[in-house]
Amino acid sequence: MAVDTSPRSTTWTHVDGEWLPGNPPLIGPTSHAMWLGSTVFDGARWFDGIAPDLDLHCQRINRSALAIGLKPVKSAEEIAALAWEGVAKFDGATAIYIKPMYWGEHGAPGSIVSVDAASTRFALCLFEAPMGGHAGTSLTVSPYRRPSPETAMTEAKTGSLYPNSGRMIAEARSRGFDNALVRDLNGNVVETASSNVFMVKDGMVMTPAANRTFLAGITRARVMDLLRKAGFDVVETTLSVEDFLAADEIFTTGNYSKVVGVTRLDDRNLQEGPVTRKALELYMNWAHGRSESEE
């Protein structure tokens, strides 16, 4: 029985100069991306009439393309303009995920494995995806690790890294958790399987230092900046599983749900604390252009 390839929500994709509805067939069985994984993407959000840090996401997709050996064929400004054009195709009732993508169509001359940068293709896909996750999430320490820059293209937001994240989540869910707390090859905590992670201890906010084994996200940087401006002591440092187990609060940041409190880490239950709530409040106020006095 054929698999239904239609998207699960309203979707529009811009490719080769036109907007196409649904899930257009763009990659064939001989495409380099199909069998050798030469794909990068990024993800921004539109909600409530705003698209926070859209420009930074559009800049990062081009950096990711270069890191994996592809050639950016759109400027960040062109991608952002197309994103707003695409947003206008929706009814505005549901949040949208904005996903620019590059992929390689052919292997390089003389090499099937290496991608031919001259064959880079671009698409911009927008689809409805409600904001969620603010009720809290549960984590367990994953038995799997993040690779190092010597073993994978960790400095690109590439699809080839995500099967590892997928198995982390699947393994965690098999044990009754939502997501996984992930370590690097040295055993230090670096992120969750799908987001950056913070902990709070005695009022100090700490997050794993960006050591090139994980993507230090745009939302992560924004939340760090906002907390510092609000008077919090925010530190990037080396953190262990034991540090997180002793934390007063744990929360995650990411483009998909912005700020989410952690309510359980393995056998330890936690409450969504005041710093977590403040981080979300600060982010949403900044995104909407509000000052704290307006709250």
State which of 74, 93, 128 marks the end of a domain: 128
Residues 209 and 277 placed together within one structural domain of the fold:
yes
Q: Does 51 fall in a domain?
A: yes
For the chain, the farthest-separated pair of C-alpha atoms sits apart, in whole angstroms, at: 63
Residues 179 and 271 placed together within one structural domain of the fold:
yes
SS3 at position 44 = strand
* The predicted structure's pLDDT at residue 291: 64
Residues 107 and 154 placed together within one structural domain of the fold:
no
> What Rg do the C-alpha atoms of the chain give, in angstroms?
20
CATH code for the domain of 39? 3.30.470.10
Torsion (CA) 260, 207, 247, 183 in degrees, nearest 10: 90
**Cα dist from 152 to 21, 157, 212, 213, 219, whole Å:** 34, 11, 11, 9, 23
* The predicted structure's pLDDT at residue 135: 79
Element spanning 87, H or E: helix 76-87
Reading the chain (295 residues) residue by residue, the pLDDT tens digits are 799 999 999 999 999 999 999 999 999 999 999 999 999 999 999 999 999 999 999 999 999 999 999 999 999 999 999 999 999 999 999 999 999 999 999 999 999 999 999 999 999 999 999 987 777 999 999 999 999 999 999 999 999 999 999 999 999 999 999 999 999 999 999 999 999 999 999 999 999 999 999 999 999 999 999 999 999 999 999 999 999 999 999 999 999 899 999 999 999 999 999 999 999 999 999 999 986 545 4
**Cα dist from 257 to 186, 277, 284, whole Å:** 29, 14, 11
Residues 149 and 114 placed together within one structural domain of the fold:
no
State which of 68, 96, 128 marks the end of a domain: 128
Q: Establish how many alpha carbons lie within 13 A of residue 294's alpha carbon, considering only the half-sphere containing its beta carbon.
A: 9
Residues 282 and 201 placed together within one structural domain of the fold:
yes
Torsion (CA) 157, 163, 168, 171 in degrees, nearest 10: 160
Q: Does 50 fall in a domain?
A: yes
Structural domain boundaries enclosing 102: 11-128
* The predicted structure's pLDDT at residue 292: 57
Q: Does 2 fall in a domain?
A: no
Q: Give the distance, in angstroms, between the CA of residue 115 and the centroid of all CA atoms in the same chain.
A: 24
Number of domains in the chain: 2
Q: What's the pLDDT tens digit per position in 125-183? A: 999 999 877 779 999 999 999 999 999 999 999 999 999 999 999 999 999 999 999 99
CATH code for the domain of 220? 3.20.10.10
Residues 189 and 244 placed together within one structural domain of the fold:
yes
Q: What is the C-alpha to C-alpha distance for residues 153 and 213, in angstroms, rounded to an integer?
A: 9
For 101, list phi and psi in degrees, rounded to 5: -140, 145
Residues 259 and 145 placed together within one structural domain of the fold:
yes
DSSP 175: T
Q: Is the dihedral of CA 233, 236, 241, 242 positive or negative?
A: negative
Residues 145 and 60 placed together within one structural domain of the fold:
no
Q: What is the C-alpha to C-alpha distance for residues 220 and 75, in angstroms, rounded to an integer?
A: 24
